[in-house]
Amino acid sequence: MLRSVSYYTTPSPPAPPVTVSRRAASFDAGATTTTNAVRCPRLRLRSSNTRRALAVRASVETGEAQQVEAPPLPSAGKKKQATRRDVRNIAIVAHVDHGKTTLVDSMLKQAKVFRDNQTVQERIMDSNDLERERGITILSKNTSISYKGTKINIIDTPGHSDFGGEVERVLNMVEGVLLVVDSVEGPMPQTRFVLKKALEFGHAVVVVVNKIDRPSARPDDVINSTFELFIELNATDEQCDFQAIYASGIKGKAGLSPDNLADDLGPLFEAILRCIPEPRIEKDEALQMLVSSTEYDEHKGRIAIGRLHAGELKRGMEVKICTSDDACRFAKVSELFVYENFSRVPADAVQAGDICAVCGISDVMIGETIADKSTGKPLPTIRVEEPTVKMSFYINTSPFVGREGKYVTTRNLRDRLYRELEKNLAMKVEDGETADTFIVSGRGTLHITILIENMRREGYEFMVGPPKVINKVVDGKTLEPYEIATVEVPEEYMGSVVELLGKRRGEMFDMQGGAEGTTTVLKYKIPTRGLVGLRNSILTASRGTAIFSSVFDSYRPWTGDFMTRDLGSLIAFEDGTTTSYALFNAQERGQLFVRPGLDVYKGQIVGINQRPGDLAINVCKKKAATNVRSNKEATVVLDEPLDFSLDDCIEYIQEDELVEITPLNVRMLKNPKMGKKNSRG
């Protein structure tokens, strides 16, 4: 159980604003303060004068002074504030595959969370089946460790841009972040997104240059690139004066210098205690807890997770659940948990500043406030960025409906989709034009695809249409979402990749040599609709050697139509079972998706045509039997069919095509409700 805390410290008064004039633009590029040199020994050009000079470059022409104010601290007026010295709350944020979860593994092991003889699997925090299969973090997870008497609450967040909503909703629970950056790749698109959000919250940032043991590591360049990113995002002087830690997450080592790593992660833990602020709380105020996440347990029901901002929460306490002063309801806390090591531990009471889990409130939603029954007031709700992509969901109407799935009706589909909104803040669900159609909007194709895969594993049968971007109309002009795409490709394949991006209205704004010396890093601003199917096309053009990532940038004017697929589809001519004889003849028309002995139906897409336009073929034709042996029996040799995953199918289909999803199979078909194929790509 969490012991009660009876010691607090009073925060220092707010720092006065700093006025920067034009004269600050002339600075000594080599200047650096003693404090900066000690905290980040590998960083250059990090003095306050440098920061201020770069910040006022845009205002030099006007001759006006710019005022840069430090983040406001709560005043010691009516409310008595204090900080908890025994707790730190941090979130680990980074671009995908930069080693966040592996670093958390080492932190947990070195904090003696597990027994010495206990077998621990890799990526402990990625407990979801899809996370382990895909090798990415999809959901934010909570855990905690203890270091020198201080409890460190850790939130592991996703690194993929499609799951940015998971990052946004948990940043209000912490006072600082560990920004993990790959020692070779440096800051990537999602690094910019998560850092921007952390800076907007005013959080302290500790930069962890991970994978420092890689042979091609370039820590100096990575630190300087990260510092430039801080400046681009208008970070304050205090935020730019970040602590740099060099680490190898897989080896469990860290240090203040890339050439002198300790044998453990001690320097990282010390940096957390030194650089991450103590939780600032309202010591004697009424209870306030913002629900940032929810889970479901078969025995305990819905579990609300969040950080206690004020007051004290006790087991059995009657509370008020509210989103505004006028919309409140009452409930009782049946059970209370805190996070200790790698599990939830029952607690009788939780003090402000800690992260806890609350049971007994069956209808609580993310963004609501658990407050004192009599005097509690709601906290500002959680806000996330708007979705950029939408897809249509339909009930299954294929001839095979009901064969493989358990939930096939409109009501089943509707209930499941709207239930997703209870825990997925970045997603939206709307009723479509017909009773059996629903529009699901998300932050990207992968965001919605994960929902589809989860529903498939739960036993649902349904159909989905192709992804479409969500446009805006401003002052009579149509705007579409744009993303910043980064491609690292070997030089011999750069021409093919540039051609692909150009066809999809991509605009190159930066090109640099890669870290390996034989690759080139291309940066494009490209319409979101141009990204559909682009990843597979780039991998094909580069023989699987390119690295591709993207993140939302802004809305820009519509650039017109363009084709995302040049070839048509091969369509099954009739219902039946595929035969080797028919497939042998059909493979001359293109690449097939099906093998012999599979049931198909009329209108199902069975392959890719080698020419533009669709072609109906008979894949069920049987060889005619005869009693005349005219020649020697021929051996039929079939090409290996293409094995498209769910993601591949969704990226492949066009406006007049659908994907049928069942627990056992994923099929593509022509939309029977549409006539001629739409010419728009």
Kindly state whether residue 437 falls inside one of the protein's structural domains: no
Task: Answer whether 157's CB lies under 8 Å from 71's CB.
Answer: no
The whole-number pLDDT of residue 439 equals: 95
Q: Which residues contact 398 (CB under 8 A, 6 or more apart)?
A: 463, 601, 604, 660, 667, 669
Give the span between the Cα atoms of 625 and 611, in whole angstroms.
Answer: 33
- Whether pLDDT at 666 is above 70: yes
Query: Looking at the predicted structure, is the pLDDT value of residue 420 above 80?
Result: yes
Please indicate whether residue 284 or residue 78 has the higher confidence score (pLDDT).
284
Same domain, 135 and 266: yes
Query: Which residues share a beta bridge with 314?
Result: 349
Percent of the chain with pLDDT over 70: 81
Is the same domain home to 59 and 144? no
Examine residue 542 and state whether it is found in any structural domain, yes or no: yes
Among residues 310, 315, 206, which one has the least CA distance to residue 268? 206
Higher pLDDT, 177 or 10: 177
Q: Worst-scoring range by mean pLDDT, 174-183, 283-292, 453-462, 471-480?
A: 283-292
Asked if residue 44 and residue 147 are part of one domain, the reply reads no
**What pLDDT was estimated at residue 50?**
37
Contact (CB, 8 A) for 312 and 6: no
pLDDT digits (tens, 9 = 90+) for 96-120: 778 888 888 888 887 766 555 555 5
Strand partners, 555: 481
- Please name which of 241, 246, 152, 256 lies closest in space to residue 205, comparing C-alpha atoms: 241
Dihedral sign, Cα of residue 458, residue 461, residue 462, residue 464: positive
The domain boundary, picked from 507, 523, 557, lies at 557
From 24, 17, 29, select the one nearest 72 (Cα to Cα). Answer: 17
Residue 403 lies in a domain: no
| Mean of pLDDT over the chain | 80
Mean pLDDT within 658-677: 85
Q: What is the total count of domains within the chain?
A: 5
Reported as a single tens digit per residue, the pLDDT across 358-394 is: 998 888 888 889 998 888 788 888 877 788 899 999 9
How buried is 389 (Cβ within 10 angstroms: 0-12 exposed, 13-18 middle, 19+ buried)?
Answer: buried
Q: Examine the fold and report which residue of 259, 277, 295 is the final residue of a domain before the chain moves on.
A: 277
* pLDDT, tens only, 180-229: 999 988 888 888 888 888 898 889 999 999 999 888 888 999 999 999 99
Domain boundary among 557, 585, 610: 557
Distance separating alpha carbons of residues 522 and 190, to the nearest angstrom: 16
State the pLDDT at residue 215.
Answer: 87
Residues 126 and 254 occupy one common structural domain: yes
Q: How many CB atoms lie within 10 A of CB 506?
A: 24
Residue identified by tokens 């339909």 is 394
What's 335's domain CATH number? Answer: 2.40.30.10
The answer to whether position 238 is within a domain reads yes
- In this prediction, residue 453 carries a pLDDT of 93
**Whole-angstrom distance, CA of residue 578 vs CA of residue 601:** 10
**Residue 25 sits in the same domain as residue 173:** no
| Residues whose CB is less than 8 angstroms from the CB of residue 34 and which lie 6 or more positions away in sequence, other chains included | none
Give the Cα separation of 490 and 680 in Å (integer).
32
Residues of the domain holding 617:
569-623+635-653
Residue 29 has pLDDT above 60, yes or no: no
User: The CATH number of the domain where 619 resides is what?
Assistant: 2.40.50.250
| DSSP characters over 139-197 | S-EEEEEEETTEEEEEEE---SGGGHHHHHHHGGG-SEEEEEEETTT-S-HHHHHHHHH
Helix axes 534-541, 494-503, angle to 10 degrees: 160
> What are the pLDDT digits (tens) for 319-333?
999 887 667 888 999
Do 121 and 205 sit in the same domain of this protein?
yes
How does residue 633 score in pLDDT terms, banded at 50, 70 and 90?
low
Roughly how many angstroms between the first and final C-alpha of the chain, as a whole number? Answer: 59
Q: Considering the domain boundaries, does residue 348 fall inside one?
A: yes
Q: Is residue 336 part of a domain?
A: yes
State whether 144 and 234 are in the same domain.
yes
Q: How far apart are CA 502 and CA 461, in angstroms?
A: 38
- pLDDT for the residue 55: 40
Q: Across the strands, what pairs with 570?
A: 607, 615
Q: Is residue 417 one of the residues assigned to a domain?
A: no
Same domain, 531 and 582: no
**Shared-domain flag, residues 129 and 273:** yes
pTM: 0.76
Q: Angle, nearest 10°, between helix axes 219-232 and 48-55? A: 50
Burial of 140 (0-12, 13-18, 19+ CB in 10 A): buried
Q: Please state the rounded mean pLDDT for residues 54-66.
A: 35
Q: What is the CATH number of the domain that holds 480?
A: 3.30.70.240
Spatial CA neighbour of 311 closest among 390, 218, 219, 373: 373
Tell me the per-residue pLDDT of 247-279, one tens digit each, with 9 for 90 and over.
998 888 899 998 888 888 999 999 999 999 888
Whole-number Å distance between alpha carbons of 132 and 105: 14
**Whether residue 95 is found in the same domain as residue 225:** yes
**pLDDT at residue 563, rounded to an integer:** 78
Average pLDDT over residues 664-678: 78
Say whether both 260 and 316 belong to one domain.
no
Q: Which residues make Cβ contacts (< 8 Å) with residue 154, sequence separation at least 6?
A: 90, 91, 92, 104, 107, 142, 143, 144, 145
| 425 lies in some domain | no
- Of the two residues 130 and 584, the one the predictor is more confident about is 584
Beta bridge pairs of residue 304: 294, 358
Distance (Å, rounded) from C-alpha 205 to C-alpha 187?
A: 14
Domain CATH code at residue 184: 3.40.50.300
- Indicate whether 100 and 225 sit together in one domain: yes
> Can you give the pLDDT at residue 43?
41
Q: Which of 42-56, 82-96, 199-213 holds the top average pLDDT?
A: 199-213
540-594 residue pLDDT tens: 888 888 888 888 888 999 988 887 788 899 999 899 999 988 898 888 888 999 9
Cα dihedral 642, 644, 649, 652 sign: negative
- In percent, how much of the chain has pLDDT > 90? 29
